[in-house]
Amino acid sequence: MQLEGKRIVLTGAAGGMGELIATELAARGARLMLADVNEERLMLLGERLAAEYPGAGHTAVAADLCAAEGRARLVQACRDQQGIDVLINAAGLSQYAMLENQSAGYIELMMSVNLVAPMLLCKELLPLLRAPAEAAIVNIGSTFGAIGHPGFVTYCASKFGLHGFTEALRRELADTSVQVFYVAPRAMQTSMNSDTVVQLNEALGNAMDKPEVVVEKLLRVLSGQSDGDFFLGWPEKLFVRLNGLLPSLVDNALGRQLATIKRLAG
């Protein structure tokens, strides 16, 4: 897919990785519909892109996509601009904590932001995505959407769900012009990770990618250089395969790290 002139909806646009994605897409001539619940940061991003790429026609929609009203506002904005070509679901939440220490409200919020909202947005934008000769949905997942990890139980549940949803939707839309992708980063150096998560990754020897690496892979997916699921990082790719074939090996590996995981989770 050539990105120049493509109408792209990007959720979570005001986040660290979302802003990078927006900047790279704008630099390639895409017309962006930027969506985020953080209105102040979203407006600043919109103003910056308008200054750097005048005449591109970017739009910012401040909306809570977990709410029907917020999704309706975004869908109507897409109709007003005569449709869309690409939907990128990049909004997400994470929390490093043992399950018994997570509040019920935050569990519900994480499941809503990471899974339910993307599902409903895909459903509500599908009529518009079916119209162009080529269109795409990209759901930003995680390695934890294929490997259950202690301390991230709710996050894993939401990303496992998003992974399954993406796979099923891809097969459901196989006879249409809409391609469906799942991009799964490993740990990243973004503000979504707390200092404690950084300490955990250092203690366990887990590599952390710069967001730019993930954005580059996303651009490869949109340009047609990858099909279906795209997992990033080594040895994380290997663990994904091992977890599918021989989960007991991953059980044992994580079991040896469990004391450290619990200690840092507090």
Domain 7-265 classification at class level: alpha beta
> Is pLDDT of 210 > 70?
yes
As a whole-number percent, the residues of the chain with pLDDT over 70 amount to 89
Whether 177 contacts 132, CB under 8 Å: yes
Mean pLDDT score across all residues of the chain? 89
Among all residues, which ones are annotated catalytic? 155
Confidence tier at 104 by pLDDT (50, 70, 90): very high
pLDDT tens per residue, range 152-209: 999 999 999 999 999 999 999 999 999 999 998 866 656 666 678 778 767 776 666 6
Q: Using one digit for the tens of pLDDT, what is the confidence trace for 128-143?
A: 999 999 999 999 999 8
- Residue 140 has a pLDDT of 94
* Model pTM score: 0.88
Q: DSSP states of 16-52 as a string?
A: HHHHHHHHHHHHTTPEEEEEES-HHHHHHHHHHHHHH
Which pLDDT score is estimated for 254?
A: 87
Spans of all domains in the chain = 7-265
